[in-house]
Chains A and B, each alone.
Chain A
Amino acid sequence: MKYSIFSLARAALSGHKTWKPTWRDAAPKDRYDVVIIGGGGHGLATAWFLASEFGIRNVAVLEKGWIGSGNAGRNTTIIRSNYGLPGNTGFYELSMKLWERMEQDLNYNAMVSQRGVINLYHSDAQRDAFARRGNTMRINGIDADLLDQAALRKLMPFLNFDNARFPVQGGLLQRRGGTARHDAVVWGYAHAASELGVDIIQNCEVTGFVRDANGKVTGVETSRGKIGTGKVGMAVAGSSSRVAAMAGLRLPIESHVLQAFVSEAIKPLLPNVMTFGAGHFYVSQSDKGGLVFGGDIDGYNSYAQRGNLPVVEDVCEGGMALIPMIGRVRLLRQWGGIMDMSMDGSPIIDKSPVEGLYLNAGWCYGGFKATPGSGFVFAHLIAQDQSHKEAARFRLDRFRRGAMIDEKGQGAQPNLH
């Protein structure tokens, strides 16, 4: 069913009694051409691209709980493509371009808001690193601007310029970066994929893989019975190791908890997305008015979806160091998500060593912004059995070969990425 101001007005006449479900809540069939495990943004986007770009419509998306119940619904909604290393830069820009047409593609308003993302720098060394990164972006055709302190004072006069432990000197701005309404991305992909015939099956937990004598995957066992398929795509960031283990795989991934926070809704205060360069704090303001902010991961392996106080304090300290006018704004809610922290901080989109099983994992805390791009390249990989060129470096064997994509330069220590 088509969404528009006209359909809304029409429905209003009947007291909105005419609306149909946003997506069909399907029951599993015996067999699909492709089964995607994980009804988050990445899984649903993959299904939509399979159906819309690659003509594969006999697709099921299996979700253990309710769609969007994982990291798709627990992030800080930032979208950007300000990466500095080959492999990342092109991929995230592909994703950004898909964000820019998402609503028209999906006929669903995901509130993609290109309000600008600025990474602040506080030292010459940081400025130089941002210059390197910004130039990489420009070379890849991505917008980037290096602002000095004077420009920043105009754009964000409320920053702590004069009273700070680590004074802000400038920032790297990507104007096309911004935010999107995370749940709506999930619902939009579900809506559009469902319209194309994709089965979205909630409350369906995968409990094992069905393999033939050669080890090839021929289906999945689920809490709602066996489902046959020749191709299984795994998009379960946070739980990748657990699902991969069912296929006998060990991954270069650890699961960590990342907390995020939202404040009470207030009138517009912050114009864009900003990241503190001298502490762990990034923030934007949602359309509803809440300050949505976060910082570093808690730092220990966890599947608990909740964190501890030291990180809450650390993040708020960063907030008060950077924007001391938010002292009396109240933190309304804290939550935690499970991050697929990879060994170099970059994702894995690749065939797995098990034939018929495809991996989409290791998104660390950056998976949301990748949603459309990840769906597209993963659909490409599954449909054509080869990597899309913008995902060619996200190979699983890069660790074995020494071809890491390590933006932070921290090495095989996931909690430092």
Chain B
Amino acid sequence: MRIVCPFCGERELGEYTYLGDAKPQRPAADAGEDAVYDYVYLRDNIAGVMSEHWYHGGGCRAWLKVTRNTLTHEISAVEPTAGAGAAKVGV
């Protein structure tokens, strides 16, 4: 698998580590146990196109949002997460 890092260009799978589904959002501090349980444990586990968190730890250390098909491994989009490249926020 090759992932096109938006900062570095196309790189080999070995430079990246995988976290998982990017859809679950960390609940607010007061959301309660059920909401956090859902965030930490439950997964849609999509068979198809999924948005995922990958870390380019063997490269520029950016966390990326990768849109990938879990049936074919085809990658259709890669974008930086909110805090990757934050120095350009507001520019």
Contact = CB atoms under 8 A, between A and B. Distances in A.
Nearest to B18: A300
B37 A254 contact: no
A241 B17 CA distance: 23
Contacts of A412: 40-41
B61 interface: no
Interface string A284-309: 00000000000000011111100010
Contact of B44 (A239, A241, A343): A241
Contacts of A66: none
A253 interface: yes
B42 A252 contact: yes
Interface string B18-59: 111100000000000000010011111111001010000000
Contact of A241 (B1, B37, B43): B43
Chain B's interface size range is: 20 to 34
Nearest to A309: B13
B20 A301 contact: yes
A400 B45 contact: no
Interface residues on A, range: 20 to 34
A188 B70 CA distance: 33
A301 B45 contact: yes
A308 B12 CA distance: 11
B87 interface: no
B71 interface: yes
A300 to B, nearest CB: 4
User: Helix, strand, loop or mixed for chain B's interface?
Assistant: mixed
B71 A303 contact: yes
A66 B31 CA distance: 46
A200 B37 CA distance: 38
A399 interface: yes
A308 B37 contact: no
10 contacts: A241-B43, A251-B45, A253-B43, A253-B45, A300-B1, A301-B70, A304-B73, A308-B73, A310-B13, A310-B14
Contacts of B17: 299
A197 to B, nearest CB: 34
Given A300-B18, A310-B13, A241 B45 contact: yes
A10 interface: no
Interface of A: 239, 241-242, 245, 250-255, 299-304, 308, 310, 343, 399-400, 412-415
Given A254-B43, A304-B71, 8 more contacts: A251-B43, A253-B45, A300-B18, A301-B50, A302-B73, A343-B41, A400-B37, A412-B41
B45 to A, nearest CB: 4
Contacts of B52: 300-301
A240 to B, nearest CB: 8
Contacts of B50: 301
Interface of B: 1, 12-14, 17-21, 37, 40-47, 50, 52, 68, 70-73
A411 to B, nearest CB: 9
Most buried by A among B18, B45, B52: B45
A242 B48 CA distance: 11
Given A302-B73, A303-B47, A304-B71, A250 B42 contact: yes
Contacts of A303: 47, 70-71
Contacts of A245: 44
B60 to A, nearest CB: 19
Nearest to A415: B18
A279 to B, nearest CB: 15
* 8 tightest A-B CB contacts, nearest first: A241-B45, A252-B41, A300-B18, A250-B42, A399-B41, A303-B47, A301-B70, A310-B14
A296 B44 CA distance: 23
B68 to A, nearest CB: 8
B65 to A, nearest CB: 14
B1 A308 contact: yes
A414 B47 CA distance: 16
B88 to A, nearest CB: 29
B20 A414 contact: yes
A343 B13 CA distance: 24
Contact of B47 (A242, A253, A310, A400): A242
